[in-house]
Amino acid sequence: MKAKINISELFSDVQASQGYVNVCAPMVRYSKVQFRTLVKNYNVDLTFTPMILADSFCQNANARSNEFSTTESDSPLIVQFASNNVNDFVDASKLVYPYADGVDLNCGCPQRWAMKDGYGCALLYKPEVVYELVKGIKNNLPTNFSISVKLRILDDLKRTVELCQQLEKSGINFLTVHGRTPSQKNSDSIDTNALKTVCESVKIPVIANGGIKTLEDADNLHNITNCRGVMAANGILVNPALFSGAKTTPMSCVKLWMDMKNRHQNKITFQCYHHHLVFMLDKVLTRQQKQVFNHLCTFKSVDEFITTNLMIPSDFNIHYNIDNFVTCDYADEITMKHSSKCRSCGRSICYCICTKYDYDLNNGSFFTSYVQNFDHLDYMDCNIFEETI
């Protein structure tokens, strides 16, 4: 079991030293352990896993294997779950308790499939369910395990404030608030006044999210809202060194990503490796180079392209913090309690839900179709499902 990091103390310590906590968002498909390790080498203080469906995680060994992996140095780490059932949420949290520092409840995903199944933003309109889910964690897991909620602002700011204040009373350690409503798109401006009002209305730390492309954006959002943390999603995909002040992805970051793949190639899929590089190099490569690079399909061809076209000195000496992968030993008494069939549709082993997560089932061709227009996508709020499922 990993030693727990007190998340509340993390906010206090970081605030004293640099003003606010730098946070990498939970992004569908992309917040895997390799990327979490990468960004922590560039001033990220706190990372999240991708959103994981709690019921699938409990029911299906493949979902656990595909959706959660960690290393000895992968901390502080928050595991984000989507759930509308207290038993699933508690059981899934118990499974990851030995390997993480806390769990987060997703109340911010606005996608149709999530809303239809009662996940994400659907929970904003059922606050009594959210409170029960939070209390389930508080009543069943040790106090050294953080519980937080990620949400979007509502059209009625008063209701948003009331919800946040009630969540604070329920005992959560911190909030993440996305500065757009469930109906707004990623191209819409965030409501900084609403974020400021929320920050002023509660005493627990608030992480503000939305529209962060540079360190200057993060500083401005902190100064306007007085938030305790700033979360980046799309911006940190394009530039994993965002919080270090780099304007574009430095070559040291690209080299580090390549070295991490070489060290643990059996732990990373080609899609994950290549897709991240497509993002990282978006502001680096020319249009013609992108047309070639985005269609490469092997590790070897990607590495050869980079070494041929980019100025990466062969004597680059990078020291990074990545330890051995942890073998997760999940409690049988928890997983055995769950049926092998989906509670919603009855299909075997919850295949209907788990296929949404298994990016190995997709050959990655979707990516080249949308890579030139990804500013309209919100990976934290799982809009990518609309393009791929």
110 cis-preceded (ω within 30 degrees of 0): no
CATH code for the domain of 255: 3.20.20.70
Name the burial class of residue 243, with classes exposed (0-12), middle (13-18) and buried (19+) by CB atoms within 10 angstroms of its CB: buried
Catalogue the E-assigned strands of the chain: 21-24, 46-48, 52-53, 77-82, 102-107, 146-152, 174-178, 206-209, 229-232
Please write the tens of the pLDDT for every residue from 99-144.
999 999 999 998 888 888 889 999 999 999 999 999 999 999 999 9
- Tens of pLDDT, residues 314-338: 655 655 555 678 888 887 767 777 6
> Which residues 6+ apart lie within 8 Å of 298 measured at CB?
270
Could you give the CA distance from residue 222 to residue 217 in angstroms, rounded to a whole number? 9
Whether 102 contacts 148, CB under 8 Å: yes
Selected catalytic residue, list 24, 58, 109, 354: 109
pTM exceeds 0.85 for this model: yes
- DSSP H or E segment with residue 91: helix 86-96
* Contact indicator for 44, 229 with CB cutoff of 8 Å: no
> Which pLDDT belongs to residue 294?
96
For the chain, the domain total comes to 1
Reduced to 3 states (helix: H, G, I; strand: E, B; else coil), residue 264 is coil
Q: Which domain holds residue 283?
A: 1-389
Report the first-to-last Cα separation within the chain, whole angstroms. Answer: 36
Please tell me the distance from the alpha carbon of residue 327 to that of residue 343, in angstroms, as a whole number: 29
Rounded distance, CA 132 to CA 145, Å?
Answer: 17
CA 332 vs CA 81, 95, 322: distances in Å: 20, 9, 29
The answer to whether residues 349 and 114 touch, using CB atoms and an 8 Å cutoff, is no
Could you confirm whether 109 is annotated as catalytic?
yes
Q: Identify the segments of the chain with pLDDT beneath 70.
A: 313-323, 333, 338-389
